[in-house]
Amino acid sequence: MLEFEAECSLYLRGDNSEPMGYITVAVFANPDQRGYAQLSPMIAKLFHETLGIDPTSVFIKYEDISCWSIAGHVLS
């Protein structure tokens, strides 16, 4: 699932003169963070190529989801 929020102002150290990206990646059942190191540069590259955001201005927050529910069924 993806959600994009347009016209959002992000500030870094009080400055919003350059475009930035703040991405949250929620991953189910990956407490060992496998693959995060490989995924991060790919996400930064995608945002650079698609939106022109410098990779050094792409901030990624990873969340591990230990329990998930869909259609009334709980997965854990």
Q: What pLDDT digit, counting tens, does each position of 18-70 carry?
A: 999 999 999 999 989 999 999 999 999 999 999 999 999 999 999 999 998 99
- 21-75: CATH number: 3.30.429.10
53 vs 1: CA distance, rounded Å: 21
Q: Are 33 and 63 in contact (CB under 8 A)?
A: no
Which residues have a Cβ under 8 Å from the Cβ of 18 and sit 6 or more positions away? 54, 57
Q: Are 43 and 25 in contact (CB under 8 A)?
A: yes
User: What does residue 43 show for φ and ψ, rounded to 5 degrees?
Assistant: -65, -45
Higher model confidence: residue 6 or residue 71?
71
Q: What is the pLDDT of residue 44?
A: 97
Reported pTM:
0.83
Q: What is the pLDDT of residue 42?
A: 97
Q: Are 22 and 5 in contact (CB under 8 A)?
A: no
